[in-house]
Structure 1
Amino acid sequence: MDKVLDVKNLHVSFDTHAGEVKAVRGVDFHLMKGETLAIVGESGSGKSVTTKTLMRLIPNPPGRIKEGQMLFEGKDLVKLSEKEMEKIRGKEISMIFQDPMTSLNPTMTIGKQVMEPLIKHQNMSKDAARKRAVELLSLVGLPNPEERVKQYPHQFSGGQRQRVVIAIALACNPKILIADEPTTALDVTIQAQILELMKDLQKKIDTSIIFITHDLGVVANVADRVAVMYGGQIVETGTVDEIFYDPRHPYTWGLLSSMPSLEASEEIELYAIPGSPPDLLNPPKGDAFALRSEYALKIDFEKEPPIYQVSDTHFVKSWLLHPEAPAVEPPAMVQQQKRPMPSNYDKPVLFEEAR
């Protein structure tokens, strides 16, 4: 597969009255053609800032890209002018936002809103755009699309509005679709329908998807690869199987342990990660997760860990993978995964433990 997107050493900051908030700090990831990459993490970890930066939707000021590259088909999106980005935004790269009601204009019919990108980016006539809008509404599973194009957002349910937003995002057959927690505002039954719809549409139009979520249950159903984000950095990347069955970063362990499981024994209580995400106005020295981790080593408070390669697709930013790190066992909830968890923590204990 070919790379459709390659993000290298991305730094994004916001200048506030209190000082510089370093929201994204040296993020690297890539997206292959036709794959779904899920970016997961708590609120405040930098997921949405990263993806809005890809669309160049971060207001400047106060936001700014300090450093890095965002290579899309050989073009660095960081260096493009706003006029050049307007030709890409909505056509080559589209985005589905969290709340469908605030994504739609309440004063415009659904038909006009679906037609807008077709007229702007595809130079379609109004008649051709209306015909295509009906086809798109049918594609996303809305009944009676010929009638529904004449209606307004308030005449649709939450799940139906999200289908409309997906139709708008897919109108120009984008090469990348960014979905920023698209099911958060929906109930569980409708969530499942929307996720199934996105998987089906991806196969039909062969687009690549970046899926932003804090729900690991969603990840298991939609993603090919997962990037775990914390404190403005990506701390672990791997295939879905690697993240679920062979996680190596303590933060990933925490996220997995906090997931309810029908298979967990009654003796194991649901885990909650202690503390709060770091203040990125003054990012912590060393490993950003150290203050919340029971597995923290002395070096975690002194020096930022490098990225260790576990396999061709699995990368972890943690001192626990250093050859001299102590052997540690993942939490019980993580070890209850369906497959045995391989471990290479068989090196001598030379690092001084913090606690």
Structure 2
Amino acid sequence: MIIDLPSTTTSQLNKKLVELRERGGAVALGRVLTLVIAADDDEHLEDAIDAANEASREHPSRVIVVAKGSKTAAPRIDGQIRVGGDAGASEVIVLRLYGALASNSQSAVVPLLLPDAPIVTWWPGTGPRNPAADQLGELAQRRITDSAAEKNPIRALGTRGKAYTDGDTDLAWTRLTNWRAQLVSALDLPPYEKVLSATVTGEADSPSTELLAGWLAEYLKAPVRRVKSSSAQGILSVTLERRSGPIELSRPDGRVGTLTQPGQPARRIALQRRDNKDCLIEELRRLDPDEIYEAALHGLGKIAATARKTPAGSGAKAASKESTAKAKAPAKAKS
């Protein structure tokens, strides 16, 4: 059910929610959090709402969508309430803000928040430089951005790294969960040797590739090189050099990865790119600070990036050969 309330107020929206609750039995007692979506009123807005609806099946919540319209229009709120099949397991309130209200979104959101429930703010598109200092970010215990949606993803990632506050996270980091799990499980197998160096190859403007390299640099305490590919999408390969030989996880087609390591048969692994629905569901499972993400941000400054760009098909092999040669020549590897 979708109910439109043009030129409305937050008080009228609250009254309508109570009326729907009493008439149709749609209650807020089972909501575990309030999810605030801050976005522009464009063609991508419905995609964000669909992702929130899907996430609500695991995390029942009240979803407040703040869609900023024209700032030159007369101040008004065009409201919309979605319940039932149009809202997943949540209730969705869409606020289209115009005029001065578009720059003062906090005043429109606060009266609609669930009492005594955690608040999560998500920017599915372009987000603020400092999420914790943003109007809607100040309300939240957890703030989710997506560097991949920015015009300059790498610069946005670096800016947010400097402004990091406990509770910040990024969907570019969440997309790495499967990669990190596979690499950790590979290192848990014998021989239990120290990693001498690592090479991460991927798309030049992929924030996930940068974060993966930063994570490895922070925790392996070994040299990590970031090789930029000219045509690959996302991460292409990761190579970890050890005395017994390299561990290599490559994904040339963007869907299926291959893990190779000494003494073990090659394994094919499902490593398809994760969509926003899966990433959002994972992020809503925790509301505490993500110390590992913070460490990965700190590791960004330890990466040795290369200016050379490799073709998508040969990036993994080139990175593996070069890192193998460095492992055989310790004096050069240290530099």
Q: Which structure is richer in relative contact order (CA contacts within 8 A, separation 6 or more)? A: 1
- Say whether the fold is shared (TM-score over 0.5): no
Bigger Cα Rg: 2
Q: Which has more strand, going by share of residues?
A: 2
TM-score tier, shorter chain, comes to: 0.3 to 0.5
